[in-house]
Chains A and B, each alone.
Chain A
């Protein structure tokens, strides 16, 4: 089994989840509570990776961060190496690709909170940030956990975007799914099977964990 690819994938998925927690929470808050008439446009952009072929998303990210683009040139002059086909480039693409898997569960959880709880918090003198920390965050915890776990698992399983943006560089951008593909190309079915089985078990455990956690959280607050 290619432990280097497994380690790299775990690192990528952890960083993607962390970034999506930081970026996704305010974005989901805005999506859930904004009254802007054109909000649906932002919602559509966030949801795009759900329906877009990964190669299309990967292609545009590649164009956007390639050495011909302003972003790519700026990054290259600052860091000394190319943005495309680097771990950082792969990280950016993965964050964009998993965005709806975090933002949608977050926003759905925020929207389900009784509006009067937020109004009550405001009339008791709490700022929006305080309300978020004390009311919205704890009451949306199951949705937040779901979003984080789904984006982690989704990143672990991504293939097309990685191939487009990251290429297949061992130790830099070769993730588990790329490794499985390589093994199959080499007709090394035994190793491919080992890694594929690992991914299958991982995905099952993660999803079971999400459903079990959500149940316990709800039972804790509603039943007890």
Chain B
């Protein structure tokens, strides 16, 4: 079992496209367990993940994991993505199409020797129930299996935190539930901080220990799923009452 993890995030980033300016301005921290970033499309969820992972550079702010600074605009620290050691599961999964499941999962273990590498790959394939798919290419397996491969690939390197960008959005309810259970087991065993981005309410309830609701690039609410959804419901009822009274 590894030490409990924490991520501290302060990001300011501006985008300008066709006379429209989008400004992301967030400041929050997460502990081990699953934190759900919840919000509509365009609220800045993926941008936050990309900034944390080092795929985008914030205009200003500070990002640290377990006390180690990954980005700090003040002291001009900006570690490249490949040395941040953060797991990332993309919405499109981004499995390498020319590599087998085993090669995909072992991609991040290039520095290990053959034996140790194979052991790590076998163990994680077992944990995610995909050991029988080792020699298959991603295009030969189902959507749910691809999701498992992507999760296994991002976790096999023992990342310091896991960033998930709507990885389950395309799955049916049953497959989604099983995967969520596996993800929960893994994160409890390894005690890593997980940030899970979604705009689906069922995933907020099923996954989140904590929820951060985003709106237009800012944090609108923080709390447990019940608290956040309670407020969401209140807002909805208020809006409906306003419509009704017109």
Residues of A within 8 A of B (CB): 114, 116-117, 119-127, 130, 134-135, 138-139, 221-222, 224
| B137 & A119 in contact (Cβ 8 Å cutoff) | no
Name the residue of chain A whose CB is nearest to the CB of B88.
Answer: A123
B153 in contact (CB, < 8 A): yes
| B97 & A221 in contact (Cβ 8 Å cutoff) | yes
| B94 & A124 in contact (Cβ 8 Å cutoff) | no
Name the residue of chain A whose CB is nearest to the CB of B55.
Answer: A119
- How would residues 45 to 87 of chain B score, 1 for a CB under 8 Å from any chain A CB and 0 otherwise? 0000000011100000000000000000000000011111111
Partner of B96, one of A122, A125, A135: A135
Partner of B54, one of A114, A116, A122, A222: A122
Report the separation of the CA atoms of residues A159 and B157 in the bound assembly, to the nearest whole angstrom. Answer: 56
- How would residues 12 to 52 of chain B score, 1 for a CB under 8 Å from any chain A CB and 0 otherwise? 00000000000000000000000000000000000000000
| B94 & A134 in contact (Cβ 8 Å cutoff) | no
Q: Which residues of A contact B53 (CB under 8 A)?
A: 119, 123
Report the separation of the CA atoms of residues A119 and B50 in the bound assembly, to the nearest whole angstrom. Answer: 9
| B98 & A120 in contact (Cβ 8 Å cutoff) | no
B92 in contact (CB, < 8 A): yes
| A122 & B98 in contact (Cβ 8 Å cutoff) | no
Partner of A116, one of B94, B111, B153, B157: B94
List 7 interface pairs A-B (beta carbons < 8 Å), by A numbering.
Answer: A116-B94, A120-B90, A122-B82, A123-B87, A124-B153, A126-B110, A139-B98
Name the residue of chain B whose CB is nearest to the CB of A127.
Answer: B82
| A122 & B80 in contact (Cβ 8 Å cutoff) | yes
Partner of A124, one of B80, B92, B108: B108
Q: When A116-B90, A122-B54 are in contact, do A138 and B85 touch as well, CB less than 8 Å?
A: no
Give the number of A-B contacts (CB < 8 Å): 67
Report the separation of the CA atoms of residues A122 and B80 in the bound assembly, to the nearest whole angstrom. Answer: 8
Identify whether the interface residues of B are mostly helix, strand, loop, or mixed: loop
Report the separation of the CA atoms of residues A224 and B111 in the bound assembly, to the nearest whole angstrom. Answer: 31
| A119 & B94 in contact (Cβ 8 Å cutoff) | yes
Report the separation of the CA atoms of residues A176 and B224 in the bound assembly, to the nearest whole angstrom. Answer: 78
Q: Which residues of B contact A117 (CB under 8 A)?
A: 94, 96
| A125 & B85 in contact (Cβ 8 Å cutoff) | yes
| A134 & B107 in contact (Cβ 8 Å cutoff) | yes
- Which of A114, A116, A126, A224 is packed against the most chain B CB atoms within 10 Å? A116
| A114 & B98 in contact (Cβ 8 Å cutoff) | no
| B107 & A119 in contact (Cβ 8 Å cutoff) | no
- Which of B81, B110, B153, B157 is packed against the most chain A CB atoms within 10 Å? B81
B227 in contact (CB, < 8 A): no
B154 in contact (CB, < 8 A): yes
Q: When A139-B98, A222-B139 are in contact, do A123 and B82 touch as well, CB less than 8 Å?
A: yes
- Which of B82, B84, B86 is packed against the most chain A CB atoms within 10 Å? B82
Q: When A116-B92, A119-B88, A221-B97 are in contact, do A126 and B80 touch as well, CB less than 8 Å?
A: no
Q: When A120-B88, A135-B96 are in contact, do A125 and B82 touch as well, CB less than 8 Å?
A: yes
Question: In angstroms, how far is the closest chain A Cβ from the Cβ of B28?
Answer: 21
Q: Which residues of A contact B111 (CB under 8 A)?
A: 125
Name the residue of chain A whose CB is nearest to the CB of B83.
Answer: A125
Partner of A123, one of B86, B97, B110: B86
Report the separation of the CA atoms of residues A56 and B96 in the bound assembly, to the nearest whole angstrom. Answer: 45
| A124 & B98 in contact (Cβ 8 Å cutoff) | no
8 Å CB interface, B86-139 against A:
86-88, 90, 92, 94-98, 107-108, 110-111, 137, 139
Q: Which residues of B contact A116 (CB under 8 A)?
A: 90, 92, 94
Q: Which residues of A contact B84 (CB under 8 A)?
A: 123
| A130 & B110 in contact (Cβ 8 Å cutoff) | yes
Q: When A124-B107, A124-B108 are in contact, do A119 and B81 touch as well, CB less than 8 Å?
A: yes
